[in-house]
Amino acid sequence: MRSPRFSIIVPARNEARLLGACLESIRVAALPFPAQVEVIVVLNCCTDETEEIARAWGALVVVETARNLAAIRNCGARIAAGQVLVTIDADSRMSPGTLIAIDRALASRKTVGGGTDILPDRYSPGILLTLLLLRAALRIFRLSGGLFWCRTEDFDAVGGFNEHLVSGEDVDFARRLKAYGRIVRRPFSTLRGAYIVTSCRKFDRYGDWCVLRHPLLFWRLLRGTSRPAADAFYYDFPR
């Protein structure tokens, strides 16, 4: 049997409210690639209808109980059969042209993979300032995230996501993929003409100015070694 072109990994912890919209966005983006896209939903200690929703959409379902996003993402990657891995969170939606943009970028053999632009699902002065600060930082370090994409062989070459981190695994992965890209002379890049729209539920809970009001919390999250910070922001966060 021919392997699919894409394996899309979706970590999900009690995501019954938002998972359907994520999977619908993947369905639309996959239309130019019939029978070439597999979707893997990684269930993490779900107590709601997340599994039923994932199966209703035809996704492959696997379970990972670790309170560790890196382990959750890697769990999906281990069973992926696709030539290209894509990761997207269950509270995000990819734009319709995302898979076309990824396919075009990787076909050129001029990039190792990378991330994409991130748009919030609502705007306010606090959220807009946070977005501008994030984009400035990413521009300085020439990184991007939100949705990661690369060939499976390159994902394996960098060792996947770092399971020693309890948060910040996405930034760490971007850095290591970029470093590997320099070695193989295929630079890390940001998708052009594609983006994701992500939920502002963290802002809804902590306030639209939370990044400026709680800088120490976000510093700890980026460092990736604070279990209390990771639990509060991710694993114990109410859905």
pLDDT tens for each residue of 10-21: 999 999 999 999
State how many domains the chain has.
1
| 59 domain residue, yes or no | yes
Task: Note the pTM of the prediction, 2 decimals.
Answer: 0.94
Side-chain half-sphere CA neighbours of 213 within 13 A: 8
| 161 domain residue, yes or no | yes
Q: Which of 222, 178, 190 is nearest to 117 (CA)?
A: 190
Q: Which of 2, 25, 1 is nearest to 10 (CA)?
A: 25
Average the pLDDT over 34-38 and give the result.
97
| 133 domain residue, yes or no | no
Residue 1: which pLDDT band, with cuts at 50, 70 and 90? low
CA angle 183, 186, 188 (to 5 degrees): 100
Residue 219 confidence (pLDDT) above 90: no
pLDDT tens for each residue of 52-75: 999 999 999 999 999 999 999 999
Average the pLDDT over 217-225 and give the result.
87
Residue 215: how many CB atoms within 10 A of its CB? Answer: 10
Residue 142: which pLDDT band, with cuts at 50, 70 and 90? confident
Average the pLDDT over 129-148 and give the result.
87
Contact (Cβ atoms closer than 8 angstroms) between residue 54 and residue 12: yes
pLDDT value at position 128? Answer: 94
Give the span between the Cα atoms of 119 and 132, in whole angstroms. Answer: 11
Domain of 166, CATH number, reads 3.90.550.10
| 207 domain residue, yes or no | no
Average the pLDDT over 179-197 and give the result.
96
| 92 domain residue, yes or no | yes
| 160 domain residue, yes or no | yes
CA angle 88, 90, 92 (to 5 degrees): 70
Give the span between the Cα atoms of 32 and 41, in whole angstroms. Answer: 21
| 131 domain residue, yes or no | no
Side-chain half-sphere CA neighbours of 97 within 13 A: 10
Cross-strand bridge partners of residue 93: 197
Mean pLDDT taken over the chain: 94
Question: Which residue range forms the structural domain that includes residue 56?
Answer: 6-119+143-196
| 110 domain residue, yes or no | yes
Give the span between the Cα atoms of 18 and 37, in whole angstroms. Answer: 21
Residue 155 in tokens: 């994902």
